[in-house]
């Protein structure tokens, strides 16, 4: 019958050889984490290394051993640095060794988590149920693991739009809306909200950004005025977005008061908890996010303060039917069966955009089992105390200036030195930050508050110790003084 067909596979020709390489890679990875403190926090990728990434598409094999060596030489040494104890940039968790093992195991079993009847669905459902317990929403709520809070917020706002639009937006489109929808947030809201509202087809003007108070919290009086004015002008208020930890300062809005307002005004109440939702697991600090449990939807990140390796975000939606109605679409090739592989009560593709989904639930499931939530709560308490300590260290130095109250675990400050104009201080602190990064000792990030350029330290790091904070302040003073000396030379 025409001879035997050629048959190839991507399995290794020598399993023993690959097993040895894999063991070496795991040992190297564990050394990388264990020895994090001995490396610079960050260092730029050398030009000669960067040039290697312009090589053409490989057509011929170079083998696993050579590929791994390329990783060791060209990739591993030049990382962002967020596994380092003195990385406090943006708002990033550090990951864990066992969490990385979870990613490895997920890639080994390699299911598609879009749907079907397999045990991975049970794992993800349990993780989502645990997230519901964390934020205080009912167990019969809808929920989905996603890449991070940007996608979680998008999903939540899509559901909010569908639930409050008054028409079938999926069928008719936004052009059929009788009145323009309006979403409300403070000026401290994360930029992903604007992206979500734009991508939902409402345009930037549909996001009404309102003032904050001296603590950088949502101004409720301004919210009430804006909602009233929009209704009078023929627009339709849709949703209010509260922040359980703002990106700039870590400030937490009065979520209880926002929930009261939304209940009175019949508005969807969404909480962006990417930064601070998980504070709810801390008996010492859960009062800071009181009212989150009253939300219609909550977005949270597990790869931030719970240190799950990237990516791991979650969205919880109180109205499961509304969540399902927003995304469910079942063509004949995805028809659910009563039995067999195509059965199963819920397909995760019915609750979000993705049909192809990785098994990110496994690393969360394993990590929660490894440490227990009480330990994560203690680490949250530890970081909050460290941020307060950093604030004290800053206030103790006349050359430094704390620029905002320390909210949760974020401290914003600048080097004033001998003073200067706003323009001079901004330029000085911008250069100071770059020199800190290039020095490789500490890595904060930055923001602007009321026009002032600030160093911003988000202490979301389970490896940070008190001595690291003292070294941070020393480095800022040393670098700032050197800048001033150069300027006066």
CB 276 within 8 A of CB 252: yes
Q: Report the pLDDT value the prediction gives residue 60, as an integer from 0 to 100.
A: 95
pLDDT exceeds 90 at position 16:
yes
Q: Is residue 42 packed enough to be buried (19+ CB in 10 Å), middle (13-18) or exposed (0-12)?
A: buried
What is the Cα–Cα distance from 412 to 384, expressed in whole angstroms?
A: 14
Phi and psi dihedrals of 415, rounded to 5?
A: -90, 120
pLDDT exceeds 80 at position 488:
no
Question: How does pLDDT run across 240-264, given as a tens digit for each residue?
Answer: 999 999 999 999 999 999 999 999 9
Separation of CA 215 from chain center: 23
Provide the angle, in degrees to the nearest 10, between the axes of the packed helices 97-109 and 15-34: 150
CA distances from 279 to 134, 251, 402 (A): 9, 13, 24
pLDDT exceeds 70 at position 183:
yes
What is the Cα–Cα distance from 457 to 442, expressed in whole angstroms?
A: 10
What is the Cα–Cα distance from 151 to 199, expressed in whole angstroms?
A: 12
CA distances from 140 to 115, 143, 213, 301, 316 (A): 19, 9, 36, 21, 10
Closest-CA residue to 297 (of 270, 325, 258): 270
**DSSP notation for 115-130:** SSSSHHHHHHHHHHHH
Question: How does pLDDT run across 96-108, given as a tens digit for each residue?
Answer: 999 999 999 999 9
pLDDT exceeds 90 at position 94:
yes
pLDDT exceeds 80 at position 2:
no
Phi and psi dihedrals of 105, rounded to 5?
A: -65, -35
Classify 259 as helix, strand or coil.
helix
What is the Cα–Cα distance from 374 to 365, expressed in whole angstroms?
A: 15
Q: Report the pLDDT value the prediction gives residue 439, as an integer from 0 to 100.
A: 96
Classify 238 as helix, strand or coil.
strand
Report the share of the chain in percent with pLDDT over 70: 100
What is the Cα–Cα distance from 244 to 409, expressed in whole angstroms?
A: 12
Q: Which residues fall within 8 angstroms of residue 338, CB to CB, at 6 or more apart?
A: none
What is the Cα–Cα distance from 326 to 299, expressed in whole angstroms?
A: 17
What is the Cα–Cα distance from 316 to 297, expressed in whole angstroms?
A: 5
Question: What residue has token string 């990033």?
Answer: 92
Between 373 and 6, name the one with better pLDDT: 373
CB 408 within 8 A of CB 391: no
Helix (H) or strand (E) holding 471: helix 466-488
What is the Cα–Cα distance from 209 to 212, expressed in whole angstroms?
A: 10
Separation of CA 346 from chain center: 26
What is the Cα–Cα distance from 197 to 34, expressed in whole angstroms?
A: 42
pLDDT exceeds 80 at position 354:
yes
Question: How does pLDDT run across 117-135, given as a tens digit for each residue?
Answer: 999 999 999 999 999 999 9
Give the CA angle between residues 168, 173, 177 to the nearest 5°.
75
pLDDT exceeds 80 at position 266:
yes
Question: What residue has token string 């504070």?
Answer: 279
The string over 290-322, giving b where at least 16 C-beta atoms fall within 10 Å of a residue's C-beta and e elsewhere, is ebbbbbbbbbbbbbbbbbbbbbbbbbbbbbbeb
CB 340 within 8 A of CB 117: yes
Closest-CA residue to 246 (of 407, 387, 88, 135): 407
**138 DSSP β-pair partners:** none
Question: How does pLDDT run across 279-303, given as a tens digit for each residue?
Answer: 999 999 999 999 999 999 999 999 9
The CATH classification number of 374-488 equals: 3.90.1150.170
Q: Which residues fall within 8 angstroms of residue 309, CB to CB, at 6 or more apart?
A: 95, 96, 99, 100, 102, 103, 303, 363
pLDDT exceeds 60 at position 272:
yes
What is the Cα–Cα distance from 311 to 146, expressed in whole angstroms?
A: 8
Question: How does pLDDT run across 300-321, given as a tens digit for each residue?
Answer: 999 999 999 999 999 999 999 9
Report the share of the chain in percent with pLDDT over 90: 95
| Structure confidence at residue 221 as a pLDDT band (50, 70, 90) | very high
Q: Report the pLDDT value the prediction gives residue 190, as an integer from 0 to 100.
A: 96
What is the Cα–Cα distance from 338 to 31, expressed in whole angstroms?
A: 49
Give the CA angle between residues 294, 295, 297 to the nearest 5°.
145
For the chain, domain boundaries: 102-371, 374-488
Give the CA angle between residues 409, 415, 417 to the nearest 5°.
150
Q: Is residue 9 packed enough to be buried (19+ CB in 10 Å), middle (13-18) or exposed (0-12)?
A: exposed
- Per-chain mean pLDDT for the chain: 96
| Structure confidence at residue 407 as a pLDDT band (50, 70, 90) | confident
Question: How does pLDDT run across 226-243, given as a tens digit for each residue?
Answer: 999 999 999 999 999 999
Local structure of residue 275 (DSSP, 8 states): T
Q: Report the pLDDT value the prediction gives residue 388, as an integer from 0 to 100.
A: 97
Q: Report the pLDDT value the prediction gives residue 1, as an integer from 0 to 100.
A: 56
Closest-CA residue to 216 (of 248, 184, 251): 251
Q: Which fold has domain 102-371?
A: 3.40.640
């Amino acid at each position: 019958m025409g001879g035997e067909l050629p048959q190839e596979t991507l399995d290794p020709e020598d399993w023993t050889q690959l097993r040895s390489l894999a063991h070496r890679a795991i040992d190297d990875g564990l050394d990388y984490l264990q020895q994090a403190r001995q490396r610079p926090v960050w260092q730029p990728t050398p030009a000669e290394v960067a040039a290697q990434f312009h090589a053409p598409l490989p057509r011929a094999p170079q083998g696993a051993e050579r590929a791994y060596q390329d990783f060791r030489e060209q990739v591993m040494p030049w990382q962002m640095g967020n596994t380092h104890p003195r990385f406090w940039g943006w708002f990033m968790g550090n990951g864990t060794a066992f969490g990385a093992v979870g990613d490895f195991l997920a890639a080994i079993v390699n299911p598609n988590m879009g749907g079907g009847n397999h045990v991975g669905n049970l794992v993800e459902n349990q993780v989502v149920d645990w997230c519901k317990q964390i934020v205080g929403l009912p167990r019969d709520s809808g929920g989905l693991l996603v890449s991070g809070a940007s996608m979680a917020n998008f999903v939540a706002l899509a559901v909010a739009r569908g639930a409050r639009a008054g028409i079938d937006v999926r069928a008719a489109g936004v052009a059929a809306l009788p009145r323009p929808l309006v979403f409300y947030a403070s000026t401290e809201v994360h930029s992903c909200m604007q992206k979500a509202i734009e991508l939902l087809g409402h345009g930037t003007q549909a996001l009404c950004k309102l003032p904050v108070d001296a603590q950088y919290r949502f101004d409720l009086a301004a919210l009430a005025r804006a909602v009233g004015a929009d209704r009078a002008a023929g627009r339709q208020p849709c949703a209010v977005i509260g922040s359980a930890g703002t990106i700039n300062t870590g400030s937490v809005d009065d979520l209880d008061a926002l929930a009261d307002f939304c209940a009175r005004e019949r508005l969807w109440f969404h909480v962006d908890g990417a930064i601070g939702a998980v504070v709810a697991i801390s008996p010492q600090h859960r009062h800071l996010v009181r009212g989150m449990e009253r939300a219609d939807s909550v977005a949270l990140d597990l790869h931030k303060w719970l240190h799950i390796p990237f990516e791991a975000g979650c969205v919880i939606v109180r109205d499961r039917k509304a969540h399902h109605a927003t995304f469910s679409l079942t063509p004949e090739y995805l028809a659910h069966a009563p039995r067999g592989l195509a059965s199963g009560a819920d397909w995760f593709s019915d609750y979000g955009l993705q049909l192809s989904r990785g098994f990110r639930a496994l690393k969360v499931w394993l990590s929660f089992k490894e440490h227990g939530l009480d330990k994560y709560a203690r680490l949250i308490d530890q970081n909050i105390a460290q941020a307060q300590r950093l604030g004290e260290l800053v206030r103790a130095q006349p050359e430094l200036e704390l620029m905002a109250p320390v909210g949760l675990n974020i401290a914003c400050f600048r080097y004033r030195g001998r003073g200067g104009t706003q323009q001079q201080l901004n330029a000085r602190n911008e250069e100071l930050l770059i020199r800190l990064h290039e020095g490789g000792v500490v890595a904060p990030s930055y923001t602007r508050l009321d026009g002032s350029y600030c160093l911003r330290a988000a202490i979301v790091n389970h490896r940070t110790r008190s001595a690291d904070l003292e070294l941070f302040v020393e480095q800022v003073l040393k670098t700032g003084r050197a800048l001033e000396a150069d300027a006066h030379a």
